[in-house]
Structure 1
């Protein structure tokens, strides 16, 4: 299936899922430093309700073996979330100045996503990878995200380093970190620092949405060390949060790994999986390493 056939098939499928007064349109945009690019947009009673969405990245997914159904579902999700968000301005998928305020990072497993990572700007962190996304908040409590692909970087004329710095700055402003003891989260009194019981904290962001990426916030791990009384283990609960356990001479990291693996097998949604490894934060060196 060539690009034109792909566009026809995808837009026809999207149109069938739209209401009668809604119309999916395909447009060609010619930019100063790029060739003509194909975009789709959703119109409602003659008024465009979404910015132009660049289609080449979705075609790349198709070329890499992703099903038309899964691609259409992702694109429909992007259309819905952008439509619901009242703060979206300008052509965020073709103009970096418009996109910058919505940029965010997400932590994912490196090994489980090698093929996908070939399509997106990313950087490797131990056994994990940082990817970039545009995060939209709906009209109520809903959240949605659109992945940033290599094609977007070419359109925006930005490097991965610029993406990283911009995304972290945007995230800190929009989604500040949340660090709470597990006791506090379930309504129990917080343990004193000198307690003999292990100190377990949950680290995420204010929305608990892809909150594991908070570990990339400058200074947050050092701040957590002050709360936990020094070095600690990091347990990858999911892409949405990590658990921090104060390091103790009696704690066996291999047992922690078994717990992480068990949780990932029984409780974690497969798409939320982050890692089966246990990490250690060294408060003296301000570094994170894989323990086991």
Structure 2
């Protein structure tokens, strides 16, 4: 079956595999805009017209045997529903102590140009072609995006929320380690003789769980530590939303144009689309110059901007 047939089939028959309490619910398959503007089909089961509901994406399922896969989708949806309810309950509990929830706010980095729709109701910082936005990290891979509506609910401005997130990021323990060391830690065999012939400094920057660690590009303490390692300046290659690759700008044997080409090729062939951060190369020389971005043969100076919330007409 094609995509439209699949979606109609799910809408018409998914309730056959759900418990009795869902038989009056509405099942809809929606086009969902994911990170970097990627469109995916997601099924939602709405028991009433209010409140948020979890989304289960259909593209990963093989509909060769429709009945079998619908049973799997129903089971997985119920699992997600339970997990999301755990998150809602945890947030409600945390909100009883306002400081507790604010201590869990941090920043995630994404490509700004590919995510304009997503960012419309999200407070964020603009850093070159990137956007850094606040999330609540509840642990165990439970992440909640911080919207302007949430800020209003806890009576805090978007600007204040960003300052809290930036502070929390700055005191987090970042991982800054040579690429060779990171590879050894995951069991990748390294040739010491080859390393000695190619002693160029190349480091990875991420966080302790290696998820969304690229946000440390906004961490002043990380930049200060990197300055001590690379005293004459360094290039930052946006490996993904999870980590950055940092190399010595003086020792690099490739031209900046070559580095840009490498970043684009790696993004195209190695990094899944919704985890791609940027196709640009950045340079950091000193605090005064800040983070520069290379584009069309030029270095563009650092620019950090906090946009105002979009103003929508009253209905």
TM-score normalised by L of structure 2:
0.62
Could you say what secondary structure the match of 2:150 adopts?
A: helix
Could you say what secondary structure the match of 2:138 adopts?
A: strand
Higher relative contact order (CA 8 A, sep 6+): 2
Distance of aligned partners of 1:17 and 1:254 in 2 relative to their CA distance in 1, 3 Å threshold: farther
- Could you give the per-residue CA deviations for residues 133-153 of structure 1, whole angstroms, max 9, x where no partner exists? 111222xxxx12111111111
* Cα distance in 1, alignment partners of residues 84 and 137 from structure 2: 9
Compute the displacement of 1:269 (Å). 1.3
Q: Is the 8 A contact 2:54 2:81 kept in 1?
A: no
* Cα distance in 1, alignment partners of residues 82 and 138 from structure 2: 11
Is the deviation greater in 103-112 or in 247-256?
247-256
Compute the displacement of 1:91 (Å). 4.1
Other-structure match for 2:182: 185
Number of corresponding residues: 230
* Cα distance in 2, alignment partners of residues 97 and 91 from structure 1: 12
Distance of aligned partners of 1:227 and 1:83 in 2 relative to their CA distance in 1, 3 Å threshold: same
Could you say what secondary structure the match of 2:259 adopts?
A: helix
Compute the displacement of 1:272 (Å). 0.8
1:252 correspondence with 2:259: no
1:200 correspondence with 2:215: no
TM-score normalised by L of structure 1:
0.66
Q: Is the 8 A contact 1:278 1:290 kept in 2?
A: yes
* Cα distance in 2, alignment partners of residues 227 and 189 from structure 1: 23
Q: Is the 8 A contact 2:87 2:142 kept in 1?
A: no
Distance of aligned partners of 1:73 and 1:264 in 2 relative to their CA distance in 1, 3 Å threshold: same
* Cα distance in 1, alignment partners of residues 40 and 96 from structure 2: 24
Greater strand content: 1
Compute the displacement of 1:177 (Å). 0.4
- Could you give the per-residue CA deviations for residues 197-245 of structure 1, whole angstroms, max 9, x where no partner exists? 3211000111111000112222211211211333010000011000001
Distance of aligned partners of 1:85 and 1:262 in 2 relative to their CA distance in 1, 3 Å threshold: same
Other-structure match for 2:146: 148
Which runs of 5 or more residues in structure 2 are unaligned?
A: 1-13, 23-32, 34-38, 45-52, 57-76, 185-189, 296-315
Could you say what secondary structure the match of 1:280 adopts?
A: strand
Could you say what secondary structure the match of 1:220 adopts?
A: helix
- Could you give the per-residue CA deviations for residues 19-50 of structure 1, whole angstroms, max 9, x where no partner exists? x9x99xxxxxxxxxxxxxxxxxxxxxxxxxxx
Other-structure match for 1:69: 43
Could you say what secondary structure the match of 2:114 adopts?
A: helix
* Cα distance in 2, alignment partners of residues 168 and 203 from structure 1: 17
Other-structure match for 1:280: 283
* Cα distance in 2, alignment partners of residues 168 and 78 from structure 1: 31
